[in-house]
Structure formats: structure tokens, C-alpha cells
Homo-oligomer: A and B are copies of this chain.
Amino acid sequence: MRSEKINLGEKDKKNWQQIKKAIKSKKPLIHQISNYVSANDSANITLNWGALPVMASAPEEAAEIVESASALLINLGTLNQERLQAIYKAAQKANQLKIPIILDPVGVGGSDFRSRAAFKILEEFQLTIIKGNRAEIAFLAGEKAELKGVEAVGEYKDLDIAAQKLAQKQNCLVVVSSRVDILAAKNDIFYSEWGSDLMGKIVGTGCMLGTTLAVFAAVEREIELFEKIKTALVYYGFAGQKAALQAQTPAKFKREFMDTIYQFAHN
């Protein structure tokens, strides 16, 4: 069951105020090589947080665009060869320039093509955060995973242990988005119960979470990354929970959800 609480902790509030100020002053550019199903949502949520999106996905320009970005989001939804080449070039440049890379391995385990792409990315690049649903993270961690299309099905025991194993192996943070979100670092773990079941009733909440983590990773080096991502998860889920008080059907909920994030960032 979802948490009943509706008040955020003082630490979360303080972190968010600091991060919000940083987004406002830096206006970080988030370069997103993403799928065409939720590209519009991801671009809008970037603006809602106060950051700037760019979705350039041609191999001819992907690396060059990274040069002015503060974070690179790689989302494997509707992957094709061309976008994959753009991803490799952008990721290489991002690593050179020490720009954080967030990987959303959408549908990994669902086809050889996508799985090979994901493992090659894990092997060749230093990622900052990997964010996936239960099946995607289980699969990358070497566990038995069950997907239906891009959705995780089946139960996963000890997924936090798997996430932490993956975090250790890849030397990065791992986020599992689920009813209870998990944030795993090598030696730390955090569970967020914030959120609403309605978030799973619309397409794109997973992708928009990836974008959100990229925005938070892009700013304010004074706060430790683990803390920033914790705050991102809490506020993202909190927006869902607040929106669900206003709207109980998916299309109306989506509008409330996105506007709630805008209000967090602009009030």
C-alpha cells in the first residue's frame, strides 16, 4: 500500500530549495536521446523543472550537442541503429567532458538488439545513474527478468540486493522505479514510498523520471549525488501523490502531475 503521509521531511525540503535555486540560476541543458513515444512528455517535464531540453538524436550532431549540455539522458525506447550510433558518440563525449550520463534501459531483456546495446553501454561508458523498472534492473543485474513489452511483470525478491550489486559493478547509482522506488549506491540504500498508482496508468512516467534524475544530476555539486537523487525521487513521487488528490483518471491526472511539478519549481 502507498504511504498515507502527505508531509515531506525537513531535510528533503531544504535540499529541494537549494536544488531549485541551482536549476533557476544555471538553467541546465539536458540532452536527451530518447524514444518518439514519450519525447514530448520528457521535453515538457524538463521545462517544468526549470531546465532546458534538447532531443537531438542524429549521429552527425549528438556529440557536439553534448558539449553544451549539463547532463546526457540515454533512453533505449524505440531504439534503432541510427539512434544507437548517436548514443555511442554522445556518451563518449560526455565521459570525456565528465558530464553525468543517466541510462534508462527501456525494454532491455525484451530483445537481443536492445540487450546487446545496453550491455555495450554498461561496458564502454562510465554511467552516473541507471534507472529502470523492476524487470530491467533485474535483467541488467543478471537476475531472471520477465518483461511484457516494456513493462515489468512478475515478482522480484531481493531486488534491492540486485540493484546494489549492479551499483557496485558499474560504480554508479541505481534507481528502481516501482510501487516503492529503490535508490541503491555501493554502500547505501534508500526506499521511497511516495507516488500514486495512477503513475503506472499513463505512458511516459518512467521516461519522465529519467529526465527528472538528469535534471537533478546536472546541478549543485555541493549536495552529494545520492542526496540529490533521493530528493528527486521524493519530489517526483510527491507530485504524483498530490496530483492524485485532484484527478482520478489518467489523462486528467497527467495534466495535474505535470503542472504540480511546474508549481514546485516556480513557486
Contacts and interface: CB of A to CB of B under 8 A. Distances in A.
Interface in A183-203: 201-203
B202 A44 contact: yes
A75 interface: no
B78 A80 contact: no
A208 interface: no
Nearest to A254: B251
B259 A56 contact: no
A61 B113 contact: yes
A95 B201 CA distance: 31
Interface stretch (A30-38, A128-136, A215-223, A224-232): A30-38
A48 B251 CA distance: 10
A14 interface: no
B250 A52 contact: no
A252 interface: yes
11 contacts: A40-B41, A47-B201, A47-B250, A52-B148, A54-B110, A54-B148, A55-B78, A57-B80, A61-B110, A61-B113, A249-B259
Enumerate the 3 nearest inter-chain pairs by beta-carbon distance, A residue then B residue, closest first.
Answer: A54-B149, A61-B111, A249-B259
